[in-house]
Amino acid sequence: MIARDQRTVAGSGERLDRHLLNAYPWLDRATVETLLAAGQIRLNGRPAKKGAKLAAGDILDCRDVPEPADLKLQPNPDLPLKIVYEDDHVLALDKPAGQPTHPLRWAETDTLANALVARYPALAGIGDDRLFPALLHRLDTQTSGLVLAAKTAAAYAELRAQFRRFTVQKHYLALVHGRVEKPGSLAAPLTHQTRSPCKMAVARNPDKVPRNDLFAAETAWTPLETGREFSLLDVTIYTGVTHQIRCHLAAAGHPIAGDALYGPPSSPSTINHQPPTNSRHWLHAARLICTHPATGRSLDVACRLPPDWPAAK
């Protein structure tokens, strides 16, 4: 930690948060916001806000700023780590619902990534994101199932290239509202919803959406079980956009059960007679097919549904 760093601002007009990112280039925005919220950054003797505009001669007093050595992913050996597949190059992990894939801030310790580096310390150095080491893709916090990780830098580079080319086949299981009796698909670009930036929406008028906020997305589904009120779908995504399955299925009229963001506010108690809950949407990453980074052969990994998965009734 840098115990105290006091400096005089030379220029004017720059936002404080941008100034701090330039002054401490190893910090990310989330860490800067944490420092500001904790009152560790003072502007002219007073606690500062991230949007404050700086003027020449302003005095910045920065205390307990993390140094690069402090910003290592913290291993958490108390977290369980369920391994579905392992060899010298690749790991396939079963992430439980409710656990984030990786931390957003260096102080967080309850994620899959924290459990991973506790079991495999060398993996902390794979990849160029300190908070997202060795992992090839993310799952939403409440989505359970397969997450792939690389055990070598070479395997990481090769698998990342496959994900960028959309050649990795990803299959999910989704419990959705409504009777789905035949296969379907939706190829529709997604964009961030204007009123809720954390929520995606189908771009109805893509020509009017800024190019950097328009994401091509294609989803297909096949019913496996069809009940009176719910259906179990095998879902395939050919792209990898944030909330793609949740948003596309909701747009198709079959939101995922328990998805408070894209569907009904809670799952009816008729699902296995469980009480309504907003804490879990019923989406599971069940199967992943890629080319093995070392052998060149097809690698097909599957992950069973969690034991609390409800039936389609």
Indicate which residues carry an active-site annotation: 140
Residue 306 CA, distance from chain mean position: 20
How many Cβ atoms from other residues are within 10 Å of residue 279's Cβ?
A: 10
DSSP 8-state symbol, 214: -
Terminal alpha carbon distance of the chain: 55
Among 98, 122, 109, smallest CA distance to 75 is for 109
In whole angstroms, give the CA distance from residue 6 to residue 9.
10
User: Which residue type sits at 243?
Assistant: H
In whole angstroms, give the CA distance from residue 165 to residue 157.
12
In whole angstroms, give the CA distance from residue 200 to residue 259.
13
